[in-house]
Structure 1
Amino acid sequence: MNDVAPSDAHIRLGMFEAACDILAAAVIVYDRNDCLVFASRQVLRHFPIPADTLRPGTRLRDVLGAIFDSGVRYGIAPEQRSKAINREEWISARISAHWREQYEAVERLGRDRWVHFRKRRLPNGYNVTTLVDVSEQKKQEEQWRTDLERIALTEEILETLPSPVVIKDRNLAYIAVNKAFCAIHDTSPDSILGRSIWALADAESAGRIEASDRGVLETGEPFTLAEHLVRADGSDLYVITRKYRIGAPGNHAIVTLMQDVTALAAGQKVVTDSGDALLRVPGGFVEAQNCLDPVRDAERRLLLDQLAPEDLRAAAGRRVLIATPSPRIEDILVGEFKARGADCCAVASVHEHDVFLAIAAEHGLSIDLIVVDNSLPSHDALLRNGRGIATRLVVPDGIGPDFIRALVEEHELLSENASPLGDIVTPVSLADDWYIATDITTMLPAAVGDVEVLVAEDNQINQFVFSQILEGMGISHRIAENGEEAVMLWRKHQPRLVLMDISMPVMNGIDAAMEIRAAEKLTGTHTPIVAVTAQALNVDMQNCMDAGMDDYITKPVSPDMIEAIYRRYASVKPERSVA
């Protein structure tokens, strides 16, 4: 057996040392007898021990003893570091870890020094240990943890502030809103974050708000304005809006703070300049975004009108159960009773009603009032068997003309000139004149684009909402009650935009869109078709895109939503392609 080292051993050792320097790693190798074979010079950067200790042949126990004597104590739990540690016990524990087949740990060698230990026992009995300084990484992790805690605390403070607060990025998209701001619009942060003001406000208000945001973003000068808003529940809100620019250049953000001065503004509105006003605002309050939904408010008033006044007056402290399959009616009635101090919840079927009463009886809870929606299947059984509980019936499906009349009244209250709504666009009948043309150039001039928007919607209330929005925007439109009628009206009027409900009788919106796209292959045109869905499910969206639709919106629709879609797709007339 030849125990003589190869002639190039020193070259290999030098290359190994260089590799350790490049990798910024300390390497220690022990043989099967726990005697030192190799230790790179980086080891001395981690342990303040004599250099002679790292000579080949030194026992592992002696190396560990030198480390202990230098004051370094690794491998000890934080709670044990303040206690006296026996030298032999510490060395024995380190040798035990040394003999594991694999051992890995991040150890703290000082207040600001962290080392990542890796130990591997090879099949031939040799042990290879590497040490890598991870102090910077640990400092960054601790900084990140501190930053996250600070962010969480900031978000909590932002959320609990009574004043509405909004933060927008340099693209003027919402990146943070607090609970007080969402309460104004009666919405959730998810429906605001990531969007711009154009998706939330009318065009006039959006333009004014964006102009002030850009002014602050570009100049850094704070902005202040006294505004009068209308909350989603119809109540007045007077605020002093202040905007500030924050952040570093190239990554600025806009913080908007609204100070509620409604109580003071009430006094300001009834005094003269010579009087002692509670609040003086030069130029008065600017009319800002109107958050009141007249359709929802009309529904609310009509539903409440069907309840006995004494039920509403005595709601505080009572237990009320709402039985309705409609989430919208549930939302309105549960909210109204809770606002009056009642303990209120809802069920969606007769079975749920019976189970709910049975569980309530088991727990000794009495129900004072049950409000039943007459559109609930088999609701007669609830009226016959109320178990002695007061029961009231609401008729949401039968409100018809009353609902239209309530909307007219609401519009007159909100309109500055108290003008009525005017003629309501009703759905066309199937007997309406129509014709088929396969070449768009042969159509009568009046038939090409004389209707800007075609709405395919089977629900009468939604038809009215679409009509009101489009009328208010000054956009000519027609209403189709089903997909088959939508295709016929599209052929006749060649609208600039189609708003297609995907769930309709006779022919659904998916099939209608596919039929329109097939016809367009012959005429060489393309009409933007936007799906209108009850909920944005991925499978529904994919089906819409596969059918050739261009986009989608979800119900309930709003004027801002329709205006944004119209501006995006109907700013020009349908294009004609030349084959």
Structure 2
Amino acid sequence: MSDGASADANIRLGMFETACDILAAAVIVYDKNDSLVFASRQIQRYFPIPADFLKPGTRLRDVLGAIFDCGLRYGIAPEMRHKAVNREEWISARISAHWREQHDAVERLGRDRWIHFRKRRLSNGYNVTTLTDVSEQKKQEEQWRTDLERVELTEAILETLPSPLVVKDRNLAHIAANRAFCAIYNVEADAILGRSAWDLCDAENAERTEASDREVLETGMPMRVAEHIVRADGSDLYVITRKYRVGQPGHCVLVTHMEDVSDIVAGTRAMEGGASLDLCSGFVEAQNCFDPVRDAERRILLEQLRSEDLTAVSGRRILVATPNPRIENILVEEFRRRGAECCAVRDRHECEAFLAFAGKRGLPLDLVVVDDNLPGHEELAAQGHGVPVRLIAPDGIGPDFMRVLVEEHELLSENASPLGDIVSPVPIADDWYIATDIAAMPSAAVGDIEVLVAEDNQINQFVFSQILEGMGISHRIAENGEEAVTLWRKHQPRLVLMDIAMPVKNGIDAAIEIREAEKALGIHTPIVAVTAQALNVDMQNCMDAGMDDYITKPVSPDMIEAIYRRYAVPREERSVA
């Protein structure tokens, strides 16, 4: 009888040991008197103590003493591990933990080993302890935590870099952009992420940028180029752009870093007589954010020059004398773009010193352009130094120029420049109405056109025009959000297709301004957002701005027709909101 019971107990013990092996865990059981009842053979994988201490009947205190004597110290706070530990105090602390109802802890054994202790005290007083090796898991967690901290630190460093930096994926969509890069376009990162160069700059620069990007991605060879960028606020940025492929083909990204060298480019070179000359050359145009104010200023300045001063100027030497840095930048850039050798001086003393220096070196000038705001400009014009002199009167050009434009209500037309020529001022009565009944408004102002498209990309403008003309729908194109608001006020279209990312004023801000104006007019114009990608954050921003719907690029005739049928209802069916 007893032999049968012993055999059955041995079978159960063997099954218990096998289960411990399968679960990769060690089990140790103590009775209510803290005497060892059972210890699986896996225990010695965790505690290399003599086998005699693992026999049934061994006291818990003796087992803990053997663990301490073999050099293991678990259950000690990290800040105390470098200090000497009293043997009896350590054993007492472990016995205290042993008598808890439940105790779970991950303890470090040695340098790179972690053990998960689970202790449960049963109702009969028995204590069951399981030990599981979680070293690999802890190492992965530590590595993950270290990587996460490294990523956060890297992001913080890149975000605070003074030089612009952007990362693109294999489809050349922006997936990361630091604060300095966003500042070029005066937008938040959300307005850039997910978009391509075609959404941020004109078609010519977008095509050039994308071609160089693809070359770097395909060849893996870094690229370096000096570029001249016009920021959204109209200021100049001179950079050394470097492009790198990071990662292996098929799993790589394109990193573009721009080193700001504007201070170096704008540095001065010493000349005889104490004069100085601002120099900047060798930089190609790149990723320009079109500024309509700067374009208007340029036109006003060029209109004051003779036609022969602007034609066939390639290779001619031209000097600009003006105290206004904005006028200097515009004229010097324009003459250089036309192939002339051009530089600038800031006062009469510099101008005379430069003319004398050039004459002494046998480098005669072909033209001197003098700002009539320059002190002593009359004397310069009278003396001439044997060089043709042109006086210009650039009144209003400077920080207050936009205010002057607004006061005169000048509109942008659809000619040569991205925003066209500045045309004659439009009477206020043509643009502004205060009415509570839409029927009381002038007929030319209610649905004068059917669709207004706000889009800064010239290729997309062409696509929209072809589609709408093919449908026989009257339309107008706005180059930016500010022009879109102006044309909306003038024409009261039935439908507005609003690009989100535009210079001067983005589509979100333009939609908000239109909705505010509609409150006074008592009308509602359907506004449909046009986005590069249907990102959740973009869609939410569009809805918050009061837009009615959205479509994604590239657009198609079916897409435009569906939106038109949905929102551009006949004029007589429009209702007052």
- 5 Å-filtered alignment, 1:431-470, equals 449-451=471-473, 453=475, 464-465=483-484
Aligned to 1:215: 215
Structure 1 residue 189 corresponds to structure 2 residue 189: yes
| TM-aligned CA deviation for residue 228 of structure 1 | 1.2
Match of 2:257 in 1: 257
Picking from 393, 398, 404, the partner of 2:409 is 404
Please name the residue that 1:541 is paired with.
Answer: 543
Match of 2:321 in 1: none
Secondary structure at 1:224 match in 2? strand
CA contact (8 A) 1:264 1:278 kept: no
User: What secondary structure is seen at the aligned counterpart in 2 of 1:290?
Assistant: coil
**AA matched with 1:486:** R
Q: Structure 2: how far apart are the matches of 1:104 and 1:140?
A: 20
Superposition pairs of residues 29-178 of structure 1, within 5 angstroms? 29-178=29-178
What is the one-letter code of the residue matched to 1:465? A
Kindly indicate whether the alpha-carbon contact (under 8 Å) linking 1:454 and 1:478 is maintained by their aligned counterparts in 2: no
**Separation in 2, partners of 1:153, 1:122:** 48
**Cα shift at 1:419:** 4.5
Q: Alpha-carbon deviation of 1:113?
A: 0.9
Structure 1: runs of 5+ lacking an equivalent = 272-276, 300-394, 435-445, 469-476, 488-498, 514-527, 552-563
The offset of 1:479, in angstroms, is: 6.6
Distance 1:106-1:34 versus aligned 2 partners, 3 A rule: same
Which gives a bigger RCO, structure 1 or 2 (Cα 8 Å, sep 6+)?
2
Change (3 A) 1:101 1:242: same
1:287 maps to amino acid: E
Q: Using a 3 Å threshold, how does the CA distance of structure 1 residues 448 and 177 change in structure 2: closer, same or farther? A: closer
What is the deviation of 1:147?
2.0
User: For residues 322-348 of structure 1, what are the alpha-carbon distances to aligned partners after superposition, in whole Å with 9 as ceiling and x for unaligned?
Assistant: xxxxxxxxxxxxxxxxxxxxxxxxxxx
Identity rate, percent: 57
Q: Verify the 8 A CA contact 1:502 1:508 in the aligned structure 2.
A: no
Aligned residue in 1 for 2:494: 486
Structure 1 residues 437-472: Cα deviation after superposition (integer angstroms, max 9, x where no partner)? xxxxxxxxx9972236479x9xxx96743678xxxx
Counterpart AA for 2:561:
P
Contact 1:264 1:279 in 2 (8 A): no
Superposed CA deviations along residues 61-89 of structure 1, whole A, max 9, x for unmatched, are 12111111111111112232233322222
Change (3 A) 1:462 1:247: closer
**Partner amino acid, structure 2, of 1:574:** E
Separation of aligned partners in 1, 2:57 and 2:74: 24
Which residues of 2 match residues 137-536 of structure 1 at below 5 A? 137-266=137-266, 284-294=282-292, 402-405=407-410, 415=417, 419-420=421-422, 429-430=442-443, 449-451=471-473, 453=475, 464-465=483-484, 480-481=491-492, 486=494, 504-505=518-519, 508-509=523-524, 529-530=528-529
Instruction: Give the conservation status (yes or no) of the 8 Å contact 1:229–1:238.
Output: yes
Post-superposition offset of 1:121 = 0.8
Q: Confirm or deny: 8 A CA contact 1:233 1:292 kept in the other structure.
A: no
2 CA distance for matches of 1:63 and 1:71?
13
Structure 2 unaligned regions, length at least 5: 272-276, 298-399, 432-440, 448-467, 496-509, 532-536, 565-577
TM-score by length of 1: 0.58
Q: CA deviation at 1:246?
A: 1.1
Paired AA for residue 409 in structure 2: I
Distance in 1 between residues matched to 2:199 and 2:418, nearest whole Å? 24
Q: Does the C-alpha gap of structure 1 residues 168 and 543 become closer, same or farther in structure 2, counting only changes over 3 Å?
A: closer
Q: Which amino acid aligns with 2:484?
A: V
Following TM superposition, by how much is the alpha carbon of 1:541 offset from its aligned partner in structure 2, in angstroms? 2.9
Q: What's the offset of the Cα at 1:164?
A: 1.7
After superposition, the C-alpha distances for 1:328-380 in whole angstroms (9 at most, x for unaligned) are xxxxxxxxxxxxxxxxxxxxxxxxxxxxxxxxxxxxxxxxxxxxxxxxxxxxx
1:11–1:145 CA distance, 2 compared to 1 (3 A)? same
* Higher alpha-carbon deviation: 40-49 or 241-250: 241-250
Q: Name the CA shift for 1:530/1:174 in 2 (closer, same or farther; >3 Å).
A: closer
CA 1:68–1:180: 2 relative to 1, 3 Å: same
Whole-angstrom CA distance in 2 between matches of 1:227 and 1:571: 40
2:409, 2:425 within 8 Å by CA — same for their partners in 1? no
Aligned letter for 2:148?
L
C-alpha separation in 2, matches of 1:93 and 1:478: 80
Does the CA contact (< 8 Å) of 2:296 and 2:422 recur in 1? Answer: no
Relative distance call for 1:416 and 1:453 in structure 2 (3 A) is: closer
Q: What is the Cα deviation at residue 23 of structure 1?
A: 1.8
C-alpha distance in structure 2 between counterparts of 1:57 and 1:241, whole Å? 77
Mapped partners of 2:265, 2:28: distance in 1? 77
Q: CA RMSD in A?
A: 5.0
Q: Distance in 2 between matches of 1:76 and 1:447?
A: 79
C-alpha distance in structure 1 between counterparts of 2:16 and 2:167, whole Å: 55
Q: TM-score, normalised by structure 2?
A: 0.58
> 2:200, 2:287 within 8 Å by CA — same for their partners in 1?
no
Within 1, Cα distance between the matches of 2:253 and 2:68?
53
How many residues align? The count is 404
Aligned-partner Cα distance in 1 for 2:446–2:190? 46
Whole-angstrom distance in 2 between the partners of 1:419 and 1:431: 23
Alignment match, 1:518:
none
Range with bigger deviation, 416-425 or 174-183 = 416-425
Alignment-derived partner of residue 555 in structure 2: 568
Q: Match of 1:574, SS?
A: helix
For the structure 1 residues 397 and 166, does the alpha-carbon distance in structure 2 shift closer, same or farther, using more than 3 Å as the test?
closer
Q: Specify the SS of the correspondent of 2:251.
A: coil
What amino acid is the match of 1:450? Answer: G
Shift of 1:115: 0.9
Residues 113 and 550 of structure 1: is their aligned pair in 2 closer, same or farther, counting only changes over 3 Å?
same
Structure 2 CA distance for partners of 1:122 and 1:467, relative to 1, 3 Å: same
Q: CA deviation at 1:255?
A: 1.3
- Name the CA distance, whole Å, in 2 between partners of 1:84 and 1:267: 65
Deviations 1:519-578 (A, max 9, x none): xxxxxxxxx94489xx97849739989x7x344xxxxxxxxxxxx75x42558762699x
Q: Residue 245 of structure 1: CA displacement?
A: 0.8
